[in-house]
C-alpha cells in the first residue's frame, strides 16, 4: 500500500475516534524479564502467559513484555531471505523439487535445510543476546504433502510435528517463549508470496474449495493446540500472518473476511486448548480486526506489523492501535523502519504504549545481508544459492548443508549492537 493512502486512512481514523477513546489512554511501564548471563532455567507451569487488561502476565503475577526475533526464512521460504533461485515462491520450489527428484528426495533436501539453518547454537545465541521470545513462522506444507490435506507422518505413523516439538523444547530449556505463527494456511490467506504461494488467496473463497481449505486450517490448528496445550513455553497461537495482504479491497471488506475466518479458527483452537493466548492480526490498520468484546473472545493479543517510512506515521499507527484496543495486550509482530523512521523512535514509542515486539528477522541470506539491519545474522560474502531447476540433488544438498549453519556461513550484521541491544 502506498504511504499516501496509508496516511489518509490513519488520519480519517484519528478524526473519527480520537475523541471517543482518548479517555482510554494511559501509559505504564512493563517489566522485561531477562537473565543477563543467559542462565534462566527451563520454564515451569508458573511461566504460562495470559492477558490481564493491556498486560501480559505469568502465573506468578509478573508482568512480561515479549522482546524477540522472528525465525523467518526457516520453515517457510522467501526468495529475498533464503539461499535459492530460479523459482518464485515456496510452493513452486517444492513442486519443482518433487517433479525432478520425487517427493521423498524433495523432502530430504528440505529437511537438510531445516536441520542446518536453525540449530541449538541459534537458540543459545538468541538467549545470550537478551531476547526472551522467538516468533516461529511456518506453513501448512510443513505438515501436509499437498493442498488436499495428505498428512506428513512420522516413523510411528503419527502426524509429524517433530520440527515444532524440537523448537519449543529448545526454547523452553532456555527460558525463551515461542509464538507459533501460521505464516501460510491451506488455500493461502493473502496474495503475497510470503504465504507460500503468490496470488492465491483462496482461504476466504465462498465455495466448496474454500470451505475445504478452512476445514484443513482448523484441523491443523486444533492438532497444534492439542499438542502444546500444556506447554508454558508457547506464548500464543498466531492464527494467520498478515491476512489478506496485497489483496485489492476496502478495509471494510478486509474486516468482514477477517471476522469470519478468525471466529472460525478461534472456536477451533478453543475446543482443543482453552488456556493459551491467541493472537489476532490486523494489517494494515487496526480497523481490520474485530473486537474481542463483540465476539466473546478471551485471552486475546492483538498484533500489527509496520513497514512504513516515517516516525510520525509509526507513532500515529501505534497510538491509534492502542486506543482502538485499549484494554488488550498488543504485539508488534514484525517491523522495519524504512528511510525516515528510526529504530530508537520505534522502540521508545512501543515501550510508551505497552507493546511487545518481534524483530524481522533473526537471520537472512542475500547480497549485503552481512551488514544489513534487516537481520541480526547475515550471510557471509560469497554465499551460494541453490538453483532449484538446474542444480543436481547433491549440489542442492551441499548448498543447504552445514554451510547454512550460523557459525559456518553467517556473521553479525552489526544491527544488534547498533540498534537493538540498548532496548532489551
- Higher model confidence: residue 32 or residue 200? 200
- pLDDT of 180 reads 98
What digits encode the pLDDT tens for the residues 68-102?
999 999 999 999 999 999 999 999 999 999 999 99
Which DSSP letter does residue 53 get? T
| Residue 42 within a domain | no
**Is the residue at 118 inside a domain?**
yes
Most confident stretch, 13-27, 35-49, 169-183 = 169-183
Is pLDDT above 50 for 396?
Answer: yes
Q: Can you name the residues that pair with 135 across neighbouring β-strands?
A: 70, 179
397 within a domain of the structure (yes/no): yes
CA atoms within 13 A on the CB side of 343: 15
pLDDT band at 255 (very low <50, low <70, confident <90, very high): confident
Domain count of the fold of the chain? 1
Q: Over 50: is that where the pLDDT of 39 sits?
A: no
What would the pLDDT profile of 191-207 be if each residue is shown by its tens digit? 999 999 999 999 999 99
What per-residue confidence (pLDDT) applies to 257? 83
pLDDT at 40: 54
Domain-embedded: residue 91 = yes
Q: Which residues pair with 82 in a beta bridge?
A: none
pLDDT at residue 391, as a whole number: 98
The verdict on residue 183 lying in a domain is yes
- Mean pLDDT value of segment 348-366: 98
The answer to whether 217 and 185 are in contact (CB under 8 A) is: yes
| CATH classification of the domain holding 348 | 3.20.20.80
Q: Which domain holds residue 252?
A: 57-423
Q: What is the mean pLDDT of residues 330-356?
A: 97
Query: Between 294 and 364, whose confidence is greater?
Result: 364
Angle, CA of 395, 396 and 397, to the nearest 5°: 90
Give phi and psi for 383, each to the nearest 5.
Answer: -60, 155
Q: Is residue 36 part of a domain?
A: no
Distance CA 35, CA 120 (A): 18
E strand map for 276-394 = 277-281, 300-306, 330-335, 355-359, 363-364, 377-379, 386-387
Distance of alpha carbon 274 from alpha carbon 294, whole angstroms: 19
Closest of 309, 314, 292, 310 to residue 301, by C-alpha = 292
Residue 273 pLDDT greater than 80, yes or no? yes
Phi, psi values for residue 58, rounded to 5°: -95, 180
Q: Which of 276, 323, 267 is nearest to 297 (CA)?
A: 267
Interatomic CA distance for residues 193 and 93, integer angstroms = 12
What are the contacts of 18-22 at 24+ separation with CB within 8 A? 18/320, 18/323, 21/323, 21/324, 21/326, 22/323
- Say if 22 falls within a structural domain: no
Q: How far apart are CA 356 and CA 333, in angstroms?
A: 8
Mean pLDDT of the chain: 90
Asked if 85 and 376 count as a contact pair (C-beta separation under 8 A), the reply is: no
Q: Return the closest-CA partner of residue 233 out of 325, 128, 123.
A: 123
Please tell me the predicted confidence (pLDDT) of residue 250. Answer: 81
Position of cell 532496548?
423
Q: Is residue 210 part of a domain?
A: yes
pLDDT digits (tens, 9 = 90+) for 227-250: 999 999 999 999 999 999 999 888
Least confident piece of the model among 33-37, 210-214, 385-389, 409-413 = 33-37
What torsion, rounded to 10 degrees, do the Cα atoms 238, 193, 134, 162 define? 80
Any residues with CB less than 8 A from the CB of 91 and at least 6 apart, and which? 141, 196, 197, 200
* Total-model pTM: 0.91
Which tens digit of pLDDT belongs to each residue from 118-166?
999 999 999 999 999 999 999 999 999 999 999 999 999 999 999 999 9
The pLDDT of residue 1 is above 50: no
Dihedral sign computed on CA atoms, order 400, 402, 407, 408: negative
Could you give the residue ranges of the DSSP H alpha helices within 298-388?
311-324, 343-352
Amino acid at each position: 500500500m502506498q504511504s499516501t493512502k496509508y496516511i489518509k486512512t490513519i488520519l480519517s481514523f484519528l478524526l473519527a475516534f480520537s475523541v471517543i477513546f482518548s479517555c482510554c489512554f494511559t501509559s505504564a511501564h512493563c517489566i522485561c524479564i531477562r537473565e543477563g548471563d543467559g542462565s534462566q532455567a527451563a520454564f515451569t507451569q508458573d511461566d504460562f502467559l495470559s492477558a490481564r487488561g493491556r498486560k501480559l502476565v505469568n502465573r506468578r503475577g509478573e508482568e512480561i513484555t515479549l522482546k524477540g526475533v522472528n525465525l523467518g526464512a526457516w520453515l517457510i521460504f522467501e526468495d529475498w531471505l533464503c539461499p535459492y533461485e530460479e523459482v518464485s515462491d515456496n510452493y513452486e520450489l517444492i513442486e519443482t523439487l518433487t517433479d525432478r527428484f520425487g517427493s521423498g528426495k524433495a523432502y530430504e533436501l528440505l529437511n537438510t535445510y531445516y536441520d542446518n539453518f536453525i540449530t541449538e547454537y541459534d537458540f543459545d545465541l538468541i538467549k545470550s543476546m537478551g531476547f526472551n521470545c522467538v516468533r516461529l513462522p511456518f506453513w501448512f506444507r510443513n505438515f501436509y504433502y499437498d493442498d488436499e490435506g495428505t498428512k506428513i507422518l512420522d516413523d510411528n505413523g503419527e502426524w509429524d510435528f517433530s520440527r515444532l516439538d524440537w523448537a519449543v523444547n529448545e526454547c523452553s530449556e532456555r527460558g525463551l517463549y515461542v509464538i507459533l505463527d501460521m505464516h501460510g494456511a491451506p488455500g493461502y490467506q493473502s496474495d503475497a508470496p510470503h504465504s507460500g504461494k503468490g496470488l492465491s488467496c483462496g482461504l476466504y473463497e465462498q465455495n466448496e474449495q474454500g470451505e475445504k481449505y478452512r476445514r484443513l486450517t482448523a484441523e491443523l490448528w486444533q492438532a497444534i493446540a492439542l499438542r502444546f496445550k500444556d506447554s508454558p513455553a508457547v506464548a500464543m497461537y498466531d492464527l494467520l500472518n498478515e491476512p489478506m495482504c496485497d489483496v485489492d479491497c476496502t478495509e471494510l471488506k478486509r474486516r468482514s473476511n477477517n471476522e469470519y475466518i478468525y471466529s472460525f479458527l478461534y472456536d477451533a483452537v478453543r475446543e482443543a486448548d482453552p488456556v493459551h493466548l491467541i493472537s489476532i492480526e490486523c494489517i494494515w490498520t487496526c480497523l481490520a480486526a474485530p473486537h474481542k468484546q463483540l465476539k466473546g473472545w478471551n485471552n486475546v493479543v492483538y498484533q500489527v506489523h509496520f513497514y512504513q517510512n516515517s516516525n510520525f506515521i509509526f507513532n500515529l499507527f501505534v497510538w491509534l492501535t492502542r486506543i482502538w484496543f485499549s484494554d488488550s495486550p498488543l504485539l508488534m509482530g514484525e517491523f522495519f523502519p524504512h528511510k525516515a523512521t528510526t529504530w530508537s523512535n520505534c522502540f521508545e514509542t512501543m515501550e510508551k504504549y505497552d507493546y511487545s515486539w518481534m524483530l524481522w528477522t533473526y537471520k537472512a541470506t542475500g547480497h549485503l545481508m552481512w551488514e544489513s539491519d534487516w537481520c541480526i545474522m547475515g550471510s557471509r560474502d560469497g554465499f551460494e544459492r541453490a538453483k532449484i531447476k538446474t542444480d543436481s540433488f547433491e549440489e542442492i544438498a551441499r548448498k543447504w548443508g552445514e554451510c547454512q549453519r550460523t557459525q559456518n556461513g553467517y556473521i553479525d550484521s552489526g544491527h544488534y549492537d547498533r540498534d537493538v541491544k540498548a532496548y532489551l
